[in-house]
Structure 1
Amino acid sequence: MIETLRARARILMWLVTVPFALLLLAAAILLFAPIWTGRFSGPALIFNLPMYIYVWAIWMVRQALRSIASGAVFGQVVPRLLLRVGAALFAGGLINVFGVTLLTRLIYERGAYAVFDGAAITLGVIGATLVLVAQLLAQ
């Protein structure tokens, strides 16, 4: 049973690597292409800010799967994973709803104070819930 879990974690680790690598490539292109072409856009950088946090969450999932595949105790890995992913989802949702609009307003002196984005709010709520569940599992 333990070996099956480790084998599945190893397979999932590599499956998670594919979207992580693609998102990391997209993030790098979105970050560096405007600089290379000379068409740097501050708003584009601000609007893509939550994506970098979500990429970090995917990396944390990959790291947890790698730990499980290499023999780490499942009960020690999962609370840490849930805490990190939950914090990333909560921060990404918060930045998406408030941070992007407030940064845009601060830099360009116009815009809203918040934006209603159902997906970002859902991710934020799920992230906060994962943080609470992680704390319960850690006890």
Structure 2
Amino acid sequence: MAADDLARFRTLCGHYRWLAVFMVVSVGALLALMYFVAPAILAARGDFRGTTTSWLGAVVWGAPSLFYLYAVWSLGQAMGRLAKGDLIQPTLARALRRVGLALGIGGVLSVFGVTNLTRIIQSGEGGWLHFDVSGMTLGMIGGALFLLGRVLDQATAVQAELDEMI
């Protein structure tokens, strides 16, 4: 890779890192406002019309978002490391594992956990499975990314072993 291309790549990685930080902070702040700050203000003023059970159910429905935001944060961290000049292969392997795990947990939670936790909170109402195609897709992609991260780790180990032989 030419020096100009490498410098451009690092610059773009740095921009992506700040985009990821902006997204996580802004969306995280909106989620905190929606699920915690606004209900607390309404409860303090005596205007909260819901119940603790309905609020807890809403928090459970928003829980997968935390894992998705962690995946974006992990990508931002990896891009920041690449922008600073870290090696691509170990940075990419670590990022793939973290992003894959976060997307996988978020997807599984979205499809199975949300509905069943809501059933527990609301005393048996609701189904056993939430047919959420996006959650299923993110869960599958997350699993594949996690496995690819492990493959890259093994490739790095094999490469190091081969380098020692030479």
TM-score of the pair, normalised by structure 1: 0.93
One-letter code aligned to 1:36: I
How much does 1:84 deviate? 0.4
Bigger Cα displacement from structure 2, 65-74 vs 2-11? 2-11
Bigger Cα displacement from structure 2, 25-34 vs 78-87? 25-34
How much does 1:2 deviate? 3.0
Q: Does 1:114 align with 2:129?
A: yes
TM-score of the pair, normalised by structure 2: 0.79
Query: Match for residue 130 of structure 1?
Result: 145
Bigger Cα displacement from structure 2, 25-34 vs 115-124? 25-34
Query: Match for residue 13 of structure 2?
Result: 9
Asked if the contact 2:56–2:121 (Cα under 8 Å) also holds between the matched residues in 1, the reply is: no
Aligned-residue identity in percent: 33
Moved over 4 A (4+): none
Instruction: Map 1:16-95 onto structure 2 (within 5 A).
Output: 16-32=20-36, 33-38=38-43, 39=48, 41-95=55-109
> Partners in 1 of 2:122 and 2:20 — Cα distance?
38
Query: Match for residue 116 of structure 2?
Result: 102
Q: Who wins on radius of gyration, i.e. which is larger?
A: 2
How much does 1:83 deviate? 0.5
* Number of aligned residue pairs: 139
Asked if the contact 2:57–2:121 (Cα under 8 Å) also holds between the matched residues in 1, the reply is: no
Bigger Cα displacement from structure 2, 24-33 vs 96-105? 24-33
How much does 1:5 deviate? 2.2
Q: Which runs of 5 or more residues in structure 1 are unaligned?
A: none
> Partners in 1 of 2:9 and 2:90 — Cα distance?
15
> Partners in 2 of 1:31 and 1:67 — Cα distance?
32
Q: Which runs of 5 or more residues in structure 2 are unaligned?
A: 155-166
